[in-house]
Structure formats: C-alpha cells, structure tokens
Amino acid sequence: MKLGFVFPGQGAQFVGMGKDLYENFEEVRNIYETAKNITGIDVAKLTYESTEEELSETKNTQICILVMSLAILELLKKYKIEADISAGLSLGEYTALIYSGYINKEDGMKIVQKRGEYMQESVPNGEWAMAAIIGLEDEKVEEACKLSKEAGFVVPANYNCPGQVAISGEKKAVLVAMEKAKELGAKRAIELKTSGPFHTEKLITATYKLEKELDKIKINNNASKKVIKNIDAQEYNEKDDIKGILSKHIISPVKFSASVQNMINQGVDTFIEIGPGKVLSGFIKKINKEVKILNIQDVESLNNTISYIADHQV
C-alpha cells in the first residue's frame, strides 16, 4: 500500500467542522491554540460558533480549513500514519507544503491568513461568479469560454477531474458560458457559491500583496516529502522558485486532475482526504476507480481510517 494525502480548499467548509475532534483530542486543541496565538483569530470559535455566511468569507474560510487539516495531521502523526507524497486543491496546497516541511507551521498559518485577506479585498468591483461544467471535455469547456467573450470575462479556473471543470469570471459571461457548454454537450452546468473570480488574472493585486508577505518567510527547498503543485501538476523541486509559484497560484488554473494522476503514476494506491467534506474523494473516484479513497473529518472517519491502515499495512 502506498499512501497519498490530499487536502481540500475553499468551498469545503461548514460550521462545526471537526468539532468532535476538538472535543476529544488535546493535540487538536493545541493546534487551534497555536493558530490563535499566531494569527490573533480564535479559529475554534469562528469554526464552531459563526454563521455559514461569516465562515464563508474568504478571510475566514482559508485559515479555518487550514487549521482543521493541520490538527488532523497531528493525530495521524500520533498513530504513525504518513505519506511521502501529497497535493491540495488551491488553499490545500499550503497544507501539503506545511506537512512536507517546505514551510513551517507558524509561517504557513501567517501566510494563509494574509492570503485569505488579500484574496477577499482584491476582488474587483462588479458581479462575479464561478460554475462547474459537468460531463464535457476540457477542450470544449475552454471553447465555451472563448465563445462567451463578447459577454465579458470568463475562463477555466479548476480542472477538477475528467468531465468536471470550474469556470470563473464576470457573472454575465459565466451564465452565457454555461449555456454554450450545454450546447457543446455538457450534462450539467451549476453555478457555485463563491465570492470572486478566483484563479484568474482578475486577482492580480492579491498576487502582488502576497509576494511581499512570502518574502518574509523562509522556504526549505530540501523538504523530506513530495508535493505535487497545482500550477503544472509536477513535483516541487529544489530549483523551483516556490515563492513565485505560490504568488502566481492565485491567478493560475488549478490542475487537480493531472496532479492526482501524477500521484497514481508514482504508485499511490490509497488516498486520504484530510479536512472538511469529501469533495476531493469524489474527484479522485472519477479520475481512477481502482484506488482506495479514505477521508478524515471527524472521530468516526478517523477511527475508520486508522483501522483500515492497520489492517492493510504490510
């Protein structure tokens, strides 16, 4: 069995996520306390006692998902469960970089706090939207966006899995592209609950701001574990300008499908999704039906995963 970890991004959040883990494990409470001391945000209170609307603000969502995933990693460390390769969807890439040792925990929390703030405040005026196009080849989704240019700005933002690409841009153009996609054979086109044109050039000011913050932290280019990056679905290596890649990450499409395929090509046969929800598990199932997919987001799923790993380790 070869394990790979995957970490979710914005959109997976819900009020109360991971609360029973917090209540049952001191290691989890310690991570939330560390986050509070580093960021000045009471992440536990925000996660468990806020409204869906408040938690869904980008500046809140990102730090809350990161901290939950990091807390679960502490538990996996306790049970000596590790993976030598990981990937994340957008924000989740930061969790992977912290887990793998490219960025230390404190710097990672600070950067993600700033990333969330900058992405929220850098959304330009206007009406923006994202939509998931289901059941259409990547090239045809790209074509649907090109055919909708007269209505405004719209581009592919997330290549999630075969037959699912998220598009992003001006609301009017996104709605037109949804119709064009259906005309080209898409099974469905679903508008998503998001607050801005993420992973497009429209967030260029957030890139500039984050670049300055990234300059303040130390990157360890000789990390002990592999991370597959969103930007090109290749491994980070010691020659990469990691700070430059992370600043461009905000305005570049997420190549999650190809990232998972790369992990499978390297022998990963068992994936663990670490954090709220099971969105990535659904994507992975569509990428490859043969691999085993586990997830950890509460005490029950933690125990199930620990039992499975114990039973299948050679």
Burial class (CB in 10 A: 0-12, 13-18, 19+), 61: buried
Q: Which listed residue (199, 252, 259, 301) is catalytic?
A: 199
Handedness of CA 298, 300, 305, 307 (dihedral sign): positive
CA–CA distance, 137 with 104 (Å, rounded to integer): 38
- Beta partners for residue 165, in sequence order: 133, 159
Active site residue 90: yes
Does residue 199 carry a catalytic annotation? yes
CA distance 302 to 216: 35
Which helix (H) or strand (E) segment holds residue 81: the answer is none
Residues in Cβ contact with 189 at an 8 Å cutoff, skipping those fewer than 6 apart: 131, 132, 133, 134, 178, 179, 181, 182
| Amino acid letter for position 137 | E
Residues near 191 by beta carbon (within 8 Å), at least 6 away in sequence: 129, 130, 131, 174, 175, 178
Question: Which residues on neighbouring strands pair with residue 3, listed in sequence order?
Answer: 270
For the chain, the C-alpha Rg in angstroms (whole number) is 19
Contact predicate 54/21, CB 8 Å? no
Which of 56, 69, 86, 90 is catalytic? The answer is 90
Q: Minimal CA–CA distance to 211: which of 102, 114, 72, 104?
A: 114
Cβ 96 vs Cβ 86: under 8 Å: yes
Tokens describing residue 223: 């990390």
| Residues identified as active-site | 90, 199
